[in-house]
Amino acid sequence: LRAAIGRLQAGGFLYEAGFLSDMEYAFAHALTHEVAYGSLLQDRRRALHVRIVETIERSYPTRLAEYVDRLSHHAFLGQDWAKAVKYFETPEARYPYGRYAQQAQLEIAYAHWKNDEAASALAAADRFIKLHPGHPHVDYAYYLKGVINFAEKEGLVAYFAGSDMSD
């Protein structure tokens, strides 16, 4: 790994972004990041995001609050919905009126829905709408509510009708 990182640094693709005890690397250019990320299959991307969450949790168990932005980001992209909710709730609790907390509230609603927790997702969307009626993304909360309600009704109809609504 060190040799590969060294070659990437020598080629100008990566640079050291962390301190000695917390060595991190970043892409030197956003386009390089996009090309590298885009070349991965979606299942591989999800698996890597999950591994990043696990690595941070294992490496810094007493300092997770310092990494909550990365943990929530990688849990969300790794589709680990339970952990995504857990880590998105941290900035919301700490800075309830901040811009990131507002975005976290929307992400929480989506993560609940993807984790098959429709009632929690609807409650989170309703809470966002109530707290931020003038927010530029309030339409997304309404959209999410519509999708959740449609999926719930479709499932109920299919259950009683015994048919697949997609046919």
Could you report the average pLDDT of every consecutive run of 10 residues in the chain (167 residues)?
87 79 79 85 94 95 91 96 94 76 92 95 96 94 92 64 52
CA-based nearest residue to 113, from 156, 60, 87, 76 = 76
Copy the structure tokens of residue 19: 């301190």
Q: Report how far apart, in Å, the C-alpha atoms of 49 and of each of 9, 33, 75, 106, 134 are.
A: 22, 15, 7, 20, 33
Q: Report how far apart, in Å, the C-alpha atoms of 112 and of each of 82, 89, 106, 115, 129 are.
A: 8, 12, 10, 5, 16
Query: Residue 17 and residue 138: Cα distance in Å, rounded?
Result: 35
pTM above 0.85, yes or no: no
